[in-house]
Structure 1
Amino acid sequence: MEDDSYFEDEEFSPIKSILGLLTFSTILPINVFTSIEYMTKLTWVWPFLHILIGILAAICGYISLEFLHLNSFFTAAVVYAFLMIITGYNHLDGVMDMADGVMVHGDAEKKIRVMKDSSVGAGGIATLFLVASLTIAGIYNILDYNFIMGIIICEMSAKTSLLTTALLSEPLTPGIGSYFIKETNVPNYYASTVIVAIIAYLLGGWIGIAGVLGAMLSGVIIANIAKRNFILANGDVLGMSNEVGRLLSLLFMAITLFFI
């Protein structure tokens, strides 16, 4: 991913940086832009911003269930579609690109070249289908337990997965992803994750904590896959981590719901 010229170089403003993150990762009509360097300084607050997206998705699910009287499976598909649309399909290319890079045989340089190629292979398409299908199944599962708060938790935790991968990775430069990786360090990651865990506990008790743990595990797994295949990581790797993080968060919550 190349640095984009619409990010203007200006004085650092926390409010503009936060709104810039929301502009960057959603289609909400905020239209606040700041330089990529300043925007990524607050990468650690990204999970909290996506609580808003999770709340909107949960409202969408509630309306589908209670007012439109759709069944849980159809509602799960609607919620997933809503999440993808409101985030501008932001990370789906990362899922396909990283999958293509992992699937190809060769050294790290060849794998990176394939990952950065604009064309999409069978591995990328199949992986996106699997991640999307399993995520819908995960939402369906938690809705079957009437745990609609899980939608908020999984969307927030997806960004915790992304931060975990960023913390454990070395950046591939140039690219926007490298800025997020460079700005993720142990202190701000620890602060972000502790606050995420507290919010998840308040929303769902130990079920919420399980969702956060699933997302953290996802981040570790994706970081290790990227390190083994590419040595370095970029925005595509972070995108994959976000989508798999949402999925594993749902999986861990679904398993916990069964046993509690």
Structure 2
Amino acid sequence: MENDDYFEDEEFSPVRSLLGLLTFSTILPINVFTSIEYMTKLTWCWPFLHIFVGILAALCGYVSVEFLHLNSFFTAAVVYAFLMILTGYNHLDGVMDMADGVMVHGDPEKKIRVMKDSSVGAGGMATLFLVASLTVAGLYNILDYNFILGIVICEMSAKTSLLTTALLSRPLTPGIGSYFIRETNLQNYFTSTILIGIIAYLLGNVAGLAGVLGAVVSGIVIALIAKRNFVLANGDVLGMSNEVGRMVSLLFMSVALFYI
């Protein structure tokens, strides 16, 4: 998709770019492709596209509970598996690659080399296990409160976390991640986050807002970790932010649901 002559004479189309972004981040049979430059111009809309993904995951959870009569834990595992499959395991390599880069000792150049290496170390495997386990635990917790709309909130909030990291990062070039980082600025970030916050409040009141806040906090932390270890950020860093953002969003919602 990057620098492909096929898109040389293409004109920018918001609808085509949004559908291209959804094609890029899911396995849904949309099959709309556009240049990486045009697709990433609407990066700030990514959380809104994943409201639809979250709705599908929430329906999966509803069917699991109401029709298959699975308990909350089994349903949480099914929902997580559904999300991973639907998104094509898109960000899991980012979790492992960034974790490997952070764990290795050395200067930023060495850490970046390890992060970009195709092999996976113990740190990457362990981090993926922890993130996946804690995400399933978070889904289990909100389902125990019958807060199934929290699935929608955590999925759209995952992309808010990614945008937060993109906003606070300098891009590592070349790479697809650099396009997303360059297209994220203060104006479109705040527009996106405020609108997502309103939607989250309508879906889940204070708990919904807490989920978005958790994602923002997560995005800030991942950006700081990346800056300290790599100076620059790439798609692996954004992928880590997405997965950890979903997890922390669930954590914040779980705490909020206990107190409200």
- 1:114 maps to 114
Structure 2 unaligned spans of 5+: none
CA contact (8 A) 1:7 1:33 kept: no
- 2:7 maps to 8
- 2:150 maps to 150
Structure 1 residue 109 displacement after superposition = 0.0
Which secondary structure state, in structure 2, belongs to the residue aligned with residue 27 of structure 1? coil
- 1:249 maps to 249
Matches of residues 1-260 of structure 1 in structure 2 within 5 Å? 3=2, 5=4, 8-9=7-8, 10-260=10-260
Rounded Cα–Cα distance in structure 1 between residues aligned with 2:249 and 2:39: 26
Rounded Cα–Cα distance in structure 1 between residues aligned with 2:5 and 2:121: 30
Structure 1 length normalisation: TM-score?
0.98
Rounded Cα–Cα distance in structure 2 between residues aligned with 1:255 and 1:7: 49
Which secondary structure state, in structure 1, belongs to the residue aligned with residue 56 of structure 2? helix
Matched residues, percent identical? 81
RMSD: 1.1
Structure 1 residue 7 displacement after superposition = 7.1
Which secondary structure state, in structure 1, belongs to the residue aligned with residue 232 of structure 2? coil
Structure 1 unaligned spans of 5+: none
Rounded Cα–Cα distance in structure 2 between residues aligned with 1:36 and 1:23: 12
Rounded Cα–Cα distance in structure 1 between residues aligned with 2:179 and 2:210: 29
Equivalent pairs, count = 259
Structure 1 residue 82 displacement after superposition = 0.2
* 1:24-53 deviation per Cα after TM superposition (whole angstroms, max 9, x unaligned): 000000000000000000000000000000
CA contact (8 A) 2:3 2:35 kept: no
Rounded Cα–Cα distance in structure 1 between residues aligned with 2:144 and 2:190: 33
Structure 1 residue 8 displacement after superposition = 2.8
After the TM superposition, list the runs of 4 or more consecutive aligned residues in structure 1 that deviate by more than 6 angstroms: none
Which secondary structure state, in structure 1, belongs to the residue aligned with residue 41 of structure 2? helix
Rounded Cα–Cα distance in structure 2 between residues aligned with 1:195 and 1:213: 13
* 1:199-256 deviation per Cα after TM superposition (whole angstroms, max 9, x unaligned): 0000000100000000000000000000000000000000000000000000000000
Rounded Cα–Cα distance in structure 2 between residues aligned with 1:38 and 1:62: 36
